Amino acid sequence: MLLINTDNSGIPNQFGYDNHKAMPLVRFWLYSVAFLILVMILVGGATRLTDSGLSITEWRPLLGALPPLDHASWLEAFDKYKLIPEYQQINSGMTLDEFKNIYWWEWGHRFLGRFIGLFFLIPMLWFWFRGALDKTIKPKLVVLFILGGIQGAIGWWMVTSGLVDRVDVSQYRLATHLVFACVIFTAIVWVARGYRTSDKIPKIFSAEMYFPHVCGILILVLVQIFLGGLVAGLDAGLSYNTWPLMDGDVLPSGLLDLSPAWINVFENELTVQFNHRIVAYLLAVWVVIYAISVLRDEYADKADMYAWAMLGAVTLQVGLGISTLILVVPFHLALLHQAGAVLLLFLAALHLRDLKDASRIS
């Protein structure tokens, strides 16, 4: 029995395809898109770390795919950059070669976004018109493609925040852009993992009991990624570089210095980093407790594999986070820390999908 319905019930169409046999290929394509989104997130992180995000001051979805191709075009792009506050207040006196260094990071980030859009759209249309897709997955793919377009608009909305009155982008918009990318990543993994027949679903007898726990882990990872975006947006990782104490205390003073009090969560560098630490501790404890409960459950079956994987991932991520902080955000370590967050999100999404599907067929 299939977990999903099919258009042709496994009967080959005029192109020689049937839904059952095409499922592995469709899943591979979707996982490849998810991998490209991971790369996109890391390139975005590098763009932030190198302060490159405002180097391209226009949004041209089609014509912007081409970088400057001659010296005159480079000078034109550089002149446009000179008009914004970041250049005037931070980078005044920058040479053309130095501008090219930051330009290529931002251009690469945008180009990769365009490439992912085509990498998603063209295979989707190919699978669709050759009858290789189940009817239940088609609307999901359309929604995923629309979400990708929205993400591009959010990216430009983020950039515009730094073109007039600021010397960098808004931390609110940066965190939103980052989290939305992770939501799309999670959605693609969810759809890919669920696109299979019921005989491919691992048996997890305690699936219904574990589902809310893993759902909580996944949500908390997204919250932590949002907080990480705020840290990046405020450059909050460049200060208070001690651990386990922060500014010499377990509970540092100054957490509520700004008024109104709620604004400290988003604009006080001390509070933003403190919250990022606290949620990291909470997430680590949650994963440890979950892993212990699963590993002690003789009926958990395949869930123990995920328990070990998430336990390893969260341990690695905590180590990367502490190292990144103490060493004052070195480039490659910061990117590894960002990748670790997406790895934990990937494992939680896979596990949650398996629990959902297992509970439906049990």
- Judge if 147 and 205 occupy the same domain: no
Which pair of structure tokens corresponds to residue 206? Answer: 């305690």
- Judge if 142 and 232 occupy the same domain: no
- Judge if 228 and 87 occupy the same domain: no
> Which residue, of 145, 168, 200, is where some domain finishes?
200
- Provide the domain limits for residue 120: 7-200
In this prediction, residue 147 carries a pLDDT of 98
- Judge if 56 and 193 occupy the same domain: yes
234 and 171 Cβ atoms separated by less than 8 Å: yes
- Judge if 88 and 177 occupy the same domain: yes
Residue 138 lies in a domain: yes
> Which residue, of 165, 180, 200, is where some domain finishes?
200
- Judge if 165 and 127 occupy the same domain: yes
CA distance 215 to 150: 25
Which pair of structure tokens corresponds to residue 176? Answer: 């939103």
- Judge if 177 and 70 occupy the same domain: yes
In this prediction, residue 55 carries a pLDDT of 95
What tens-digit pLDDT sequence spans the chain (362 residues)? 334 433 444 545 544 455 678 899 999 999 999 999 999 999 999 999 999 999 999 988 877 889 999 999 999 999 999 999 999 999 999 999 999 999 999 999 999 999 999 999 999 999 999 989 999 999 999 999 999 999 999 999 999 999 998 999 999 999 999 999 999 999 999 999 999 888 788 888 888 999 999 999 999 999 999 999 999 999 999 999 999 999 999 999 999 999 999 999 999 999 999 999 999 999 999 999 999 999 888 777 778 899 999 999 999 999 999 999 999 999 999 999 999 999 999 999 999 999 999 888 76
- Judge if 183 and 88 occupy the same domain: yes
- Judge if 236 and 292 occupy the same domain: yes
Dihedral Cα 115, 116, 122, 124, nearest 10 deg: 180
In this prediction, residue 102 carries a pLDDT of 96
CA distance 169 to 164: 10
Number of domains in the chain: 2
- Judge if 143 and 153 occupy the same domain: yes
pTM of the model: 0.93
Residue/partner pairs of 133-138 with CB below 8 Å, 24 or more apart: 133/7, 133/19, 133/22, 133/26, 134/4, 134/5, 134/6, 134/7, 134/19, 134/195, 135/5, 135/6, 135/7, 136/4, 136/5, 137/4, 137/26, 137/191, 137/195
CA distance 118 to 102: 25
> Which residue, of 173, 200, 227, is where some domain finishes?
200
Residue 2 lies in a domain: no
Residue 1 lies in a domain: no
Beta bridge partners of 249: 246
Which pair of structure tokens corresponds to residue 115? Answer: 């490439």
Residue by residue, DSSP assigns 114-141 as HHHHHHHHHHHHHHHHTT-S-TTTHHHH
